[in-house]
């Protein structure tokens, strides 16, 4: 399948996002690389099949908004923004360094295309509710996407916003939840059990889909349905993903919320990724 904007395939976009992310992580020698590899397919679909935006005008009024509440996933979003042409590729080497536009936790004031400051989890969905209300006030038909993580769902404010989005029939809101079952203190379901997630959001009045977040065709179909639905409900696509996806020895690490990778392993990681490069 090809992306909407060019003749590049979505799997190749996802591959490139993973490569950009690995190269950024290498600058620091450690980081939230497993999450970035896991969510790359979802970001490829969002940025190259689903969303409307202008790479040369990140604040264009007619754009879809993409809110990253999980600030530590910035490395993944930077990779997508680079692939989308919103950020130049040569800034990869500045990632997480002094005076960089690419801080390790995403902030709106630093980076073109970063709509909000994340990092304090549980803020994205409340902000999304306000933006959706604002877009409707303006008569805009644009969507607000909010990428959350399973661990973030521990935060009560997310559920305040979930109720509100449904109460206000915010059919211009598309929440994406990365369910990789890993948070800072360990497997998410063990930290605070959030399942059954689809039933929870359905009970809150949402249009719910759950897909394998590493199945690009399934994610693309889910986002198409989310946009096309005429139900007066906020939409959520719950994406089950695999941490470290695309680099086998990183997929197998157990405690991979914040990965430390030895210098020689980066070369191997990029090699393993290249071996799986889509044709």
Chain residues binding another protein by CB under 8 A are 107-109, 115-117, 119-120, 122-123, 125-135, 137-138, 156-157, 160-161, 163-164, 167
Alpha-carbon span 233 to 220, nearest angstrom? 19
**Distance of closest approach, residue 116 Cβ to another protein, in angstroms:** 7
CB nearer to another protein: pick between 133 and 270: 133
| CB neighbours of residue 255 within 10 Å | 12
CB nearer to another protein: pick between 232 and 276: 232
CB nearer to another protein: pick between 11 and 124: 124
**Distance of closest approach, residue 123 Cβ to another protein, in angstroms:** 5
**Distance of closest approach, residue 206 Cβ to another protein, in angstroms:** 16
- Angle in degrees, CA 134, 137, 143, rounded to 5: 55
First vs last C-alpha separation in the chain? 11
CB nearer to another protein: pick between 157 and 212: 157
Alpha-carbon span 28 to 150, nearest angstrom? 25
**Distance of closest approach, residue 85 Cβ to another protein, in angstroms:** 23
Strand partners, 35: none
> Tokens at residue 182, please?
């890993």
CA 269 to chain centre: 21
Q: How many CA atoms lie within 13 A of 37 on its CB side?
A: 29
Alpha-carbon span 24 to 244, nearest angstrom? 15
**Distance of closest approach, residue 173 Cβ to another protein, in angstroms:** 11
CB nearer to another protein: pick between 117 and 209: 117
**Distance of closest approach, residue 150 Cβ to another protein, in angstroms:** 19
CA 250 to chain centre: 19
CB nearer to another protein: pick between 79 and 170: 170
């Amino acid at each position: 399948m090809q992306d909407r904007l060019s003749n590049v395939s979505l799997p190749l976009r996802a591959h490139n996002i993973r490569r950009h992310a690995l190269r950024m992580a290498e600058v620091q020698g450690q980081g939230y690389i497993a999450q970035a590899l896991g969510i790359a397919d979802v970001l490829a679909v969002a940025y190259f099949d689903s969303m409307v935006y202008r790479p040369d005008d990140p604040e264009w009024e007619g754009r879809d908004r993409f809110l990253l509440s999980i600030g530590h996933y910035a490395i993944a979003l930077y990779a997508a923004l680079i692939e989308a042409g919103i950020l130049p590729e040569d800034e990869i080497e500045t990632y997480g360094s002094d005076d960089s536009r690419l801080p390790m936790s995403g902030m709106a004031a630093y980076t073109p295309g970063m709509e909000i400051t994340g990092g304090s989890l549980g803020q994205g969905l409340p902000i999304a509710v306000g933006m959706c209300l604002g877009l409707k006030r303006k008569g805009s038909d644009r969507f607000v996407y909010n990428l959350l993580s399973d661990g973030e769902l521990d935060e009560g404010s997310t559920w305040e916003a979930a109720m509100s989005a449904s109460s206000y029939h915010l059919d211009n809101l598309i929440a994406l939840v990365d369910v990789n079952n890993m948070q800072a203190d360990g497997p998410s379901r063990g930290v605070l059990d959030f399942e059954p997630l689809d039933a929870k959001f359905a009970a809150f009045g949402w249009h719910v889909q759950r897909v394998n977040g590493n199945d690009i065709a399934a994610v693309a179909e889910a986002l198409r349905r989310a946009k096309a639905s005429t139900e007066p409900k906020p939409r959520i696509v719950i994406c089950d993903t695999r941490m470290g996806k695309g680099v086998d020895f990183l997929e197998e690490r157990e405690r991979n919320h914040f990965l430390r990778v030895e210098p020689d392993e980066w070369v191997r990681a990029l090699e393993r990724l290249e071996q799986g490069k889509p044709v």
